[in-house]
Chains A and B, each alone.
Chain A
Amino acid sequence: MKIMVCVSKTPDTTAKISFNAANTEFNSAGVAYIMNPYDEWYALVRAVDLAKQFPGSTVTVVHVGRADSDQIIRKGLALEANDAVRIDADPHTALFTAKQLAEHARSKNYDLIFTGKETIDHNGSDVGAMLAEFLDLPFVSYASKMTVAGTTATIERDIEGGVEVVEVKLPFVVSAAKGMAEQRIPNMMGIMKAKNKPLAVVPPVAFTDKAKVTRFELPKAKSGVRMVSADEMDELVRLLHSEAKVI
């Protein structure tokens, strides 16, 4: 089975979020970057395990980004992906990124393409759907469990307040949510091997984007917590009614 895993780079979960003076760009000074957790913990780990189930399979990590992403890509290889491709461009929007990933995938005949359910920076959930559309493939989002038998996958996907079980034939695109796999730390052997695994750098295709971020702002700060004594729950209810107006 040929598996492609799309991984993106995001600020660490605990990163302080700030912007440039004009509020048009994210301020990356002092920010540690990680592989987007959904791409790593759920998509990549599940892909690697699936590859083991089908001997002769390969897992290719594909990333749209600049050379400063190579460390994150190497981590993917340390987690036992076979090889990697970096499309050398700034991933400004989901549409641009999906277009680049699709052009890479178009001639490769992947049986299965994984993304994470969303990135933790722009929280869009769009790349998987867009990629599937560019490639005219089925798409199953928010998969929390997946098994493959022959050429058919059975997938549980998260829906509002529950789970939907679906069946789909390979090839398709799937976005991975919690439950698909368990977070894994690369072992020393994996890290050593990763250094010598192929990481191809390819140029992007020309594409005119259709949207861009023109301004960032920080949410209004909370005015501060109002403490209510543990003995005065009637007062708390009164405040929720007459001050906060939520009941």
Chain B
Amino acid sequence: MCRTSSYLNDVLQKIYIMVLVYIESPKGQFKKAAFEAVTYGAKVAAALKTTCVALTLGNVKDAGILGEYGASKVYNIASSNVETFDSQSFTTAIANAAQALNASVVILSHSANGKSLTGRLAVRLNAGTVSGANAVPTLNGGFKVQKSVFSGKAIAEYTIDAPIKVISLMGNSIPAQKTGHSVAVSALDVAVPAPRVKVISTRTADGHVPLPEAEKVVSAGRGVKDPQNWGIIEDLAAAVGATTACSRPVADAGWRPHHEHVGQTGVAIRPNLYIAIGISGAIQHLAGVNNSRVIVVINKDPEAPFFKAADYGVVGDLFEVVPRLTAAFKKFKAN
């Protein structure tokens, strides 16, 4: 609610000691990013020789399992004002928790909602911030956090010079790790104002891992020629266990929904495996996918620029190659 007075800040800065991780729980459930964030928080806490505490908002199923990933305590704020997302209500809830618990580092996921909170929380807590961090901070010569910049074309190391730090963690940057056991969940009684942004409805594709969280992605471009040919892409994705994506022309033509468009103006992803089919690899496309760990490019044009950014390349007609690859994946899984 109220901002911390500068006097209070001065006092608190002297005793701030722990790492607080805010864990998102859409529809009361945790996603992969939640476990990554706790794992990251536990590593930051270990580096700072302190403890990692997790915070959840609203009704959450089995929040105690966050302990398995390194949270020594889990707090929950139950309030009718956190049932839907509003950056102001959520910022107040998290900031009040951070102050009540004397947190010196607050960690969030760099998700759609996390991106609305990180900057806001940093201002509220008078903190220094890095959004989209992709590694555990180092403490040699200052508190240093690195992130990917220039759409994946460079890495920047930021030094935060403030007693309180707010960091958002890029998805798929560090693997979630089970190190402990389930812990008890304590209720935290802090005031949360009513949301000023009202959520009317939500439309999400069910049954698929959303692209930003996907570890494997099968993506296709104009080479598919016709939306009716999309079936072979879905068959491959099913065999790989991947989420499907597309290039900008495919989304612009309305062949696939906008939220599947990866690239500079679409979704930026960093899966472990990215299979690009019939995509030439324009720089705007690469900007959204070049943080993928392993890239496979299938294209009939041996001069396609995407091959320069690929780990594995196949030159051939996708209508022949893709079904063969699907069969190979099925065979691999069967063995």
Interface of A with B (CB < 8 Å)?
11, 13-14, 17, 19, 37-38, 94-95, 98, 120-130, 132-134, 138-142, 144, 154, 157-169, 172, 177-179, 210-219, 222-223, 225-231, 233-234, 236-241, 244, 246-247
Contact = CB atoms under 8 A, between A and B. Distances in A.
B interface SS class: mixed
A217 B153 CA distance: 9
Nearest to B213: A160
Interface in B295-335: 296-297, 307-317, 320-321, 324-325, 327-329, 331-332
Contact of B112 (A19, A142, A178, A219): A142
B155 to A, nearest CB: 5
B113 interface: yes
Given A123-B149, A158-B112, 9 more contacts: A159-B113, A161-B210, A164-B199, A177-B265, A212-B161, A214-B144, A218-B155, A230-B315, A234-B331
Nearest to A135: B123
Interface stretch (B50-58, B66-74, B124-132, B183-191): B124-132
Interface string B87-105: 1100100000000000000
A122 B149 contact: yes
Contact of B160 (A177, A210, A231): A210
B250 to A, nearest CB: 14
A168 B127 contact: no
B152 interface: yes
Given A17-B154, A166-B199, A216-B154, A127 B119 contact: yes
A240 B310 contact: no
Contacts of A139: 87-88, 116, 120, 197
A129 B110 CA distance: 13
A141 B201 CA distance: 16
Contacts of B327: 233
B192 interface: no
A12 B41 CA distance: 36
B200 A167 contact: yes
Contacts of A165: 199-203
Given A161-B208, A216-B155, A246-B272, A166 B112 contact: no
B162 A138 contact: no
Contacts of A231: 324
B284 interface: yes
Contacts, number: 275
A74 to B, nearest CB: 24
Given A161-B210, A211-B130, A211-B162, A121 B197 contact: no
B105 to A, nearest CB: 13
Contacts of A157: 112
Nearest to B210: A161
B119 A133 contact: yes
B158 A211 contact: yes
Given A165-B200, A212-B159, A230 B87 contact: no
Nearest to B331: A234
A19 B294 CA distance: 26
Interface residues of B, number: 98
Contacts of A144: 258
B15 interface: no
A163 B216 CA distance: 22
Interface in B249-301: 258-259, 261, 264-268, 272-273, 283-284, 287, 290, 293-294, 296-297
Nearest to A94: B119
Contacts of A219: 148, 152-155, 290
B61 interface: no
B175 interface: no
Closest 9 CB pairs of A and B: A161-B210, A230-B316, A162-B204, A210-B128, A129-B119, A126-B119, A160-B210, A130-B119, A133-B123
A13 B312 contact: no
Contacts of A123: 132, 147-151, 268
B86 interface: yes
A109 to B, nearest CB: 17
Contact of B119 (A98, A159, A225): A98
B315 to A, nearest CB: 7
A125 B131 contact: yes
30 contacts: A37-B264, A37-B265, A120-B150, A123-B148, A126-B129, A129-B120, A130-B119, A139-B116, A142-B112, A158-B112, A158-B259, A160-B213, A162-B202, A163-B203, A163-B204, A164-B199, A165-B199, A168-B196, A172-B197, A210-B128, A212-B158, A213-B156, A214-B144, A214-B159, A216-B156, A225-B311, A225-B312, A226-B312, A229-B314, A236-B296
